[in-house]
Structure 1
Amino acid sequence: MKWIEITVFAAGEALDAVCGRLAMLGIDQVAIEQGREEIESLLRDTAKYWDFADIDALCANEPCVRAYVADAGDNAALVGEVRASFEALGREAGGALGSLRVLSRTVDDEDWANAWKVNYKPFGVGERLFIRPSWEQDFDPRGRVVLSLDPGMAFGSGTHQTTRMCLEAIERRVKSGCTALDLGCGSGILAIAALRLGAARATLVDIDPVAEKVACENARMNGVGAGQIEILIGDLVADAALRGRIAHKRYGLVTANIVASVVVALLPFVRGAMEPDGVFIASGIIGERLDEVLSALGANGFEALEVNADGDWRQITAALKR
């Protein structure tokens, strides 16, 4: 399978805003690249693949955000939408956010799957978790619960602010023996963390078929038994049968690290799927849409227990009103 890699160059302080704007366009599989020398090297080494050939003009050594979408369907048009969006933002910002130059190229699965591994190293999250890339053997977890992870082409490496905030919230809120539901599971990192921290079983859902293979393999690497995990592929917003298949159970922990619009659309379903004393942990929410999500939570019978922020991103933990 081939993918379209979209690169947006911006000032370092604008990278969160770039990620947020991409999320609003429905793109959430991103990688932030801070190494300016590496960017220049990449552009020169792969110049023939880029659709903008003036390399001298490109090598401003800016940080960038790389986003990935399947090379299929309407995604070629999506690249045009991304360009238009950042051109408009650039006019508004007047250079304050960097060049906001957008490049695109087509890459193979293998290129994407391996390129990002160079900068993915073991790291701690919260007070109890430690993320270890599956290929890293030299690490010191310092007594933490280790999650071995290979995200592959599924979203969820643990490095993004939204994932980190969700993991920290899971640490605080997961109850021993509970049943977890992860909506938009990607690599499976949130559900696997919940299981390693005491949840008994987990159901994982994602619209991307790649997630099934990746999450299964990550679960196996972390000693999760086959009877502890169920992975379902489909569009929860559009597929009533899928919603029914999931909601015949009740869940003590529901997580959704997806975009704000999907969080809002799924709230009636989440309300019906939660145990009365369960918690809902949501992120993927950019700051400017926080009030919208909080209002929708209230309208659907939830109360916010906490709201956390990291850069432009927000994470909400909520429970059903009593």
Structure 2
Amino acid sequence: MKWMEVTIFTTEEGLDPVCARLDMLGINQVMIEQGRESIEQFLRDTAKYWDYADMDKLVTSDEPCVKAYIADVADNRAAVRAIEDSFAELRNMDVGLDLGSLRTVVRITDDEDWENNWKIYYKPLEIGDRLLVRPSWEKAEDTGRIVLSLDPGMAFGTGSHHTTRMCLEFLEKTVKAGDDMIDMGCGSGILSIASLLLGAKEAVAVDIDPIAEKIAYENAAMNGIGKDTYTVLVGDVLSDSALQDKLCEKKYDVVAANIVASVIIELSAIVPKLIKKDGVFIMSGIIAERLDEVLQALDKNGFEVLEVKAGDDWRAILARPKR
């Protein structure tokens, strides 16, 4: 099926009114795209969570816009004209808000399923010697590997990125039967779920994004893992002392953090409180330029580095408490 994509250019202040007006017209399949200024401000406000951002991929337009999607059939072409007329009318009204140009651009797209198109980029992926990560919508031949089925949603990854792959390789190497594991910044839950499939007894997953809780539990269930062995918690370990206390009620054999260098540096002062003396600390998401900073923080906080992996510009570290 072909779709008509109607883009309405506006301002940050105008995004909600534009969506509301589309809703009044009975159109609710929309996508909001922030403008360059808003994205740059977001990156500044959350700088400690980012080491690298590709602005060319994050920003599609300097102007904020709302994209409405309507099936390209004869009966709906009048709806497009109604949108154009409606926003032409709104341009001439004094609503007390800066709504920007409100210009509209119509494009016909062959995308049959714009909501799920991102799935074409994910295929079954062999990782290490034993793991096979399989997106839930893909079939995979039986190769004797441990199959981890995953539906990341549009917000998280499936293991194809170097940072996740290197973590999984370290987990495959270190997780033993009966281990307790904790995953800091779990996203889709891939690392903690993989640990359970590799033989861990229990796993705890933590993320600051509430969406991660839902997706991680769904992915765990897809792999036959229940809440008796798997717990997902939402919060910021760095700033939430109550969450820190809860996590430190027990000690873990494996601690994994696939985040960014700045967060790992801060975590390195917290992890000694919750890792067993013979446990391992797996870290990834470290851009090459910041590797030395992370290594210095690990040494300062009592860790011995066992191995460093490299994948393009990314680094992963396997460490343990000094003995």
Scaled by the length of structure 2, the TM-score of the pair is 0.69
In structure 2, relative to structure 1, the CA distance for the partners of 1:78 and 1:214 (3 Å cut) is same
Is residue 2:128 matched to residue 1:126?
A: yes
Contact map agreement 1:252 1:275 (CA 8 A) in 2: yes
Deviations 1:24-62 (A, max 9, x none): xxxxxxxxxxxxxxxxxxxxx8583689xxxxxxxxxxx
- Tell me what 1:237 maps to: 238
SS of residue matched to 2:199: coil
Supply the distance in 2 between the matched residues of 1:106 and 1:238 (Cα, whole angstroms).
35
Contact map agreement 1:50 1:103 (CA 8 A) in 2: no
Supply the distance in 2 between the matched residues of 1:75 and 1:254 (Cα, whole angstroms).
38
Supply the distance in 2 between the matched residues of 1:112 and 1:46 (Cα, whole angstroms).
10
- Tell me what 1:260 maps to: 261
- Tell me what 1:285 maps to: 286
Supply the distance in 1 between the matched residues of 2:209 and 2:35 (Cα, whole angstroms).
15
Q: Output the amino acid matched with 2:199.
A: G
Supply the distance in 2 between the matched residues of 1:75 and 1:232 (Cα, whole angstroms).
32
Contact map agreement 1:113 1:153 (CA 8 A) in 2: no
- Tell me what 1:79 maps to: 39
- Tell me what 2:60 maps to: 103
SS of residue matched to 2:285: strand
Q: Aligned-pair RMSD on alpha carbons?
A: 3.1
Q: Output the amino acid matched with 1:134.
A: S
In structure 2, relative to structure 1, the CA distance for the partners of 1:83 and 1:293 (3 Å cut) is closer
SS of residue matched to 2:305: strand
- Tell me what 1:117 maps to: 119
In structure 2, relative to structure 1, the CA distance for the partners of 1:225 and 1:143 (3 Å cut) is same
Displacement, 1:150? 0.1
Supply the distance in 2 between the matched residues of 1:123 and 1:182 (Cα, whole angstroms).
21
Q: Output the amino acid matched with 1:79.
A: I
Displacement, 1:198? 0.7
Displacement, 1:112? 8.1
- Tell me what 1:160 maps to: 161
Q: Output the amino acid matched with 2:225.
A: V
SS of residue matched to 1:227: coil
Scaled by the length of structure 1, the TM-score of the pair is 0.69
Q: Output the amino acid matched with 1:190.
A: L
The 5 A counterparts of 1:302-321 are: 302-321=303-322
Displacement, 1:167? 0.3
SS of residue matched to 1:217: helix
Unmatched runs of 5 consecutive residues or more in structure 2: 11-30, 45-53, 69-112
Displacement, 1:192? 0.4
Supply the distance in 2 between the matched residues of 1:83 and 1:321 (Cα, whole angstroms).
36
In structure 2, relative to structure 1, the CA distance for the partners of 1:131 and 1:240 (3 Å cut) is same
Contact map agreement 1:249 1:273 (CA 8 A) in 2: yes
Supply the distance in 2 between the matched residues of 1:102 and 1:287 (Cα, whole angstroms).
25
Supply the distance in 2 between the matched residues of 1:249 and 1:268 (Cα, whole angstroms).
17
SS of residue matched to 2:268: helix
- Tell me what 1:223 maps to: 224
Deviations 1:43-93 (A, max 9, x none): xx8583689xxxxxxxxxxxxxxxxxx979x99755235899xxxxxxxxx
Supply the distance in 2 between the matched residues of 1:249 and 1:116 (Cα, whole angstroms).
39
Contact map agreement 2:260 2:284 (CA 8 A) in 1: yes
Contact map agreement 1:83 1:102 (CA 8 A) in 2: no
Identity %: 52
- Tell me what 2:97 maps to: none
The 5 A counterparts of 1:43-192 are: 48=7, 77-80=37-40, 102-104=59-61, 114-137=116-139, 139-192=140-193
Q: Output the amino acid matched with 2:40.
A: G
Q: Output the amino acid matched with 2:125.
A: F
In structure 2, relative to structure 1, the CA distance for the partners of 1:272 and 1:101 (3 Å cut) is closer
- Tell me what 1:274 maps to: 275
The 5 A counterparts of 1:11-50 are: 48=7
Displacement, 1:266? 1.1
SS of residue matched to 2:255: strand
Supply the distance in 1 between the matched residues of 2:190 and 2:35 (Cα, whole angstroms).
27
| Larger helix fraction of residues | 1
Supply the distance in 2 between the matched residues of 1:180 and 1:223 (Cα, whole angstroms).
18
Displacement, 1:244? 0.4
- Tell me what 1:23 maps to: none
Contact map agreement 2:192 2:203 (CA 8 A) in 1: yes
